[in-house]
Structure 1
Amino acid sequence: MRTVFLALMPAALFGIYNFGLNALLLILISIAVCMATEAGYEKIVHKKLTIQDGSAAVTGLLLALNLPPNAPWWIAVIGGVFAILVVKQLFGGLGQNIMNPALAARCFLLISFTGRMTDFTVPSGGWGNIADTVSGATPLAALKAGESVKWVDLFFGNVQGTIGETSALAILIGAAILLINRIIDFRIPLTYIGTFAVFVLLFGGHGFDVEYLLCHLFGGGLMLGAWFMATDYVTTPITKAGQLVYGVCLGIFTGLFRIFGGSAEGVSYAIIFCNLLIPLIERYTMPRAFGKGGKKA
C-alpha cells in the first residue's frame, strides 16, 4: 500500500500544481476522513485497528484524485465515509469488499450530487497551470460534441478534469513505479486499454483516426482506472485467464459507456460493474484438477 501511495504521488502533485490549493485541501480531507472512519468503526466494534496497513490512506487518495478540483470539502467527507464504512467495513474489511471503495464512492457521489461532480468550471483567472480556460466542458465532453481536442494537451495535462486524471504522463510515471516494484503486471491494464482501443476504432465513427484514438486513451479516467483501480488485488480475478477476460470486459463496457452512452466518461461504472462479474469470471476460468480423488474413508 505504501508503494501504491507513492506511485500516486506524481498524479496528485500534478493535480495540485494544475488546480491549486483546493485540490490539496480535498486530498488531505479525503485521506483524513477515510483513516478516521476506519479507525472509528473498528474501535466501536472492537476490531483490531488496521489503519497502519495504509489501505484507508490509499482509498482516500484515490477518491480525491477522482473528484473535481472545485468540489466543496463536504463532498470528500461524504465520499470518504461511504467508501470506508459502507463499501469496505460493512462487507468485512480489507479483502472482503466486492467493489473498489474509491470508485464505488465516486459513483455514489455522481448519482447523489451530479451537478457538483460534473462541474469543472475554472474561475476567471485560472488555477495553477490552467489559465485562460473558464468552460466547464471536459476534453471528453468536447470530443463527444464533435469539437477538436489535442491529444498532446491530454498527455501532458494542461486540461480540465478530476484532480488526478488530467496528466497521462504523471499517471504513467506512477504505473512504472508499480511495475518496477512488481506490485502489478501488464496483464489487466494492457488487455483493458487494448480492448478499448479496438472498440473505439471499430465503433467510434472516426475510422482509423489516430488523433481521435489517442484523445480517448489519454482523456478522462482511463489511464488512472486501468493502472491503479482495475488492478486492485481485492476486486480482480486471481486466475491469469480470468484477468484477461476481466480486461476485455472492462474495455468493452468502457467503450459502450463512452461511445454509446449519454455521458462522455465510463471508466468508473465499467470497473464497478466488472467487479461484480468477478465471481462468474472465476467460476469459468478456475483451473480444474485432472483425475479422480481416492475413496472416502
Structure 2
Amino acid sequence: MSAKPDPRLRTSMGLVLLACVPGLLVLSWLHGWGLLLNLVLCASAAMLCEALLLRLRGQPPSPVLNDGSALVTAVLLAAALPTLAPWWLPVAAASIAIGIGKQAFGGVGRNLFNPAMVGYAFVLLSFPLQMNHWPGPAPGLLDSLQQVFAGGDQIDAWARPTLLDGLRHNRSLTIDELFASHPGFGSIGGQGSEWVNLAFLLGGLFLLQRRVISWHAPTGLLAGLLLFSLLGWNGSGSDSNGSPLLHLFSGSTMMAAFFIATEPVSGPRHERARLLFGVGAGLLIYLIRTWGSYPDGTAFAILLMNLLAPGLERLAAQRQQVAR
C-alpha cells in the first residue's frame, strides 16, 4: 500500500523550516561553519535513515520524505547540538531520532516522544564529554572540517563552558562578578544566546501568526519558567539561581517553547492540556537547570512531559465534561 504525502503536513513543515531561519542565521553568525556542518550531517543522516527504514517496512520512501518532518527534526537537532563535534555525533543523534524516536513507533503521526529530543537525549547520555564542548570564536572552514572529520586537537583550546553550566557550578562569585568575568555571559543571558533566543522568538511569533501552532504550550512553558525562576530567585549573591530574564534568554528556551513543546503528535491535543504541558515543561526545565546534572534540561523536560501527555489529555477531557 503506497503512502501518500499529506499536503497540509508538508505546508506546515515548510513554514516551521522557514521560521527556523532567523535562529539558524544567528547561530551561524556565532558559530560559523560548525552549524552548517551540523545541518548537513543531521539532514543527510535523518533522510537516509528514514529512507532505509521505510524500505525495510515495504513502503515507498519518496512520499514520506517529501513531507518535511524528517528535515524539521534534523534542523532542530543541528541547532541544539554543539558545533564542531565529531561527525559521528550528529549522525548518531539524527539516526536515533528517526529510527527510535519516530519509525520505531510506526512513522509520522504515531511517535510517543518528540523525535529530536530522543536523539538529543541519547547522545547526551552516551557521549557527555563531546556534548559539553562548545567552541569559542568560530574557526575557519579548513579548521572546522579538520575538527569535525579528522578529530583535530584544537578542541581543548576552543571549548568553553556555557552560561548555565557556569551558573550551576558557581560557588563564590556574585552574579555581577560572573557577568564581568565569565566568557559565557552576555548582557542579560548567555553571550550570543540572547540573540539566538530572540531570533527563535521571532520565528515562533511567525508560526503563531500563520496558525501553524497554538499559543497554549509556548505560553505555558514561558509562564512556568518565568514563575518558578521568579520564586526561586534569591538576588545576585553567589548562591543565586539566576534571574527570570536570564532563564528566558539563555540556553534553548525559545526554541523549546515554540518549536519543541509544540510538536503535535507527542503532545496533548486539548487546549487546556497543552497549557498544562507547557507549564510542566517550564517547571522541569528550571528544576533541572538549578539542581540537576545537566545545564539546560530541555530534552529531559519535554520527554518527561511526553509521558504525562495522555494523563493531561484525560484530565482536561474530564474537566470539560464536568463544566458541561
Q: TM-score range by the shorter chain?
A: 0.7 to 0.9
Are residue 237 (structure 1) and residue 268 (structure 2) matched?
yes
Deviation, structure 1 residue 221: 1.2
Distance 1:229 1:137 in 2: 24
Deviation at 1:139? 1.2
Match of 2:37 among 1, 25, 35: 25
How many residues are matched?
277
Q: Which moved more, 1:83-92 or 1:244-253?
A: 244-253
| Secondary structure of 2:211 counterpart | coil
Q: Deviations over 1:143-167 (max 9, x none)?
A: 2325523563648x625xxxxx961
Aligned twin of 1:4: 16
Match of 1:58 among 56, 72, 80: 72
Does residue 281 of the first structure (1) align with residue 316 of the second (2)?
A: no
Q: Please, what is the CA RMSD of the aligned residues?
A: 2.4
Gaps of 5+ in 1: 160-164, 291-297
Indicate yes or no: 2:227 matched with 1:193.
no
Q: Which residue of 2 aligns with 1:136?
A: 160
* Correspondence list, 1:139-150, <5 A: 139-144=163-168, 145=170, 146=173, 147=175, 148-149=178-179
Residue 34 of structure 1: aligned partner: 46
Q: Secondary structure at the match of 1:232?
A: coil
Once residues 280 and 79 of structure 2 are traced to their aligned partners in structure 1, the CA distance between those partners, rounded to angstroms, is 24
CA 1:251–1:158: 2 relative to 1, 3 Å: closer
TM-score of the two chains, using structure 2 as the length reference: 0.79
CA drift at 1:278: 0.6
Task: Answer whether contact 2:50 2:98 (CA < 8 A) is retained.
Answer: yes
2:299 — aligned with what?
268
Query: Does structure 2 conserve the Cα–Cα contact (< 8 Å) formed by 1:107 and 1:268?
Result: yes
Instruction: Name the aligned partner's letter for residue 88 of structure 1.
Output: K
1 CA distance for matches of 2:101 and 2:47? Answer: 14
> Does 2:118 correspond to 1:104?
yes
Q: Quote the Cα distance in structure 1 between the aligned partners of 2:57 and 2:159.
A: 47
CA 1:151/1:17 → structure 2, altered by over 3 Å: closer, same or farther? closer
Between stretches 167-176 and 221-230, larger displacement belongs to 167-176
Which residue is equivalent to 1:172?
201
Measure, in 2, the Cα distance between the counterparts of 1:110 and 1:62. Answer: 15
Q: Any residues of structure 2 matched to 1:192-211 within 5 Å, and which?
A: 192-206=221-235
Question: Residue in 2 aligned with 1:77?
Answer: 91
Contact 1:166–1:219 (8 Å) recurs in 2: no
Partner of 1:92: 106
Q: Which amino acid aligns with 2:308?
A: L
Change (3 A) 1:166 1:48: farther
- Report the Cα distance in structure 2 between the residues aligned to 1:48 and 1:282, rounded to whole angstroms: 34
Match of 2:192 in 1: 158
> After TM superposition, where is structure 1 displaced by more than 2 Å over at least 4 residues in a row?
125-128, 146-155, 204-207, 287-290
Write out per-residue CA displacement over residues 65-88 of structure 1, whole angstroms, 9 at most, x where no aligned residue. 110012111111111110111110
**Which of residues 240, 249, 260 is equivalent to 1:218?**
249
Instruction: Give the residue type in structure 1 aligned to 2:161.
Output: A
Question: Structure 2: how far apart are the matches of 1:115 and 1:227?
Answer: 28
* Aligned equivalent of 2:145: none
CA distance in 1, matches of 2:257, 2:114: 13
Gaps of at least 5 residues in structure 2 are 1-12, 141-156, 180-184
CA distance in 2, matches of 1:171, 1:269: 20
- Which whole-Å deviations, capped at 9, do the CAs of 1:159-212 have from their partners, x for residues lacking one? 5xxxxx9611211121122112111122111111111111111123338x9x82
Residue 15 of structure 1: SS of its match in structure 2? helix
Q: Contact 2:83–2:135 at 8 Å: present in 1 too?
A: no
TM-score when normalising by structure 1? 0.86
Q: Deviations over 1:19-75 (max 9, x none)?
A: 111220111110111111111111122114200000000011111111001211111
Matched residue type, 1:256: L
Write the deviation string for residues 89-132 of structure 1: whole angstroms up to 9, x where unpaired.
Answer: 0101011111111111101000000000111133xx6448xxxx
Distance (whole Å) between structure 2 residues aligned to residue 289 and residue 52 of structure 1: 40
Rounded to whole Å, the distance in 1 between the matches of 2:231 and 2:188 is: 25
1:44 is aligned to 2:79 = no
Q: State whether residues 186 and 192 of structure 2, in contact with CA within 8 Å, keep that contact through their aligned partners in structure 1.
A: no
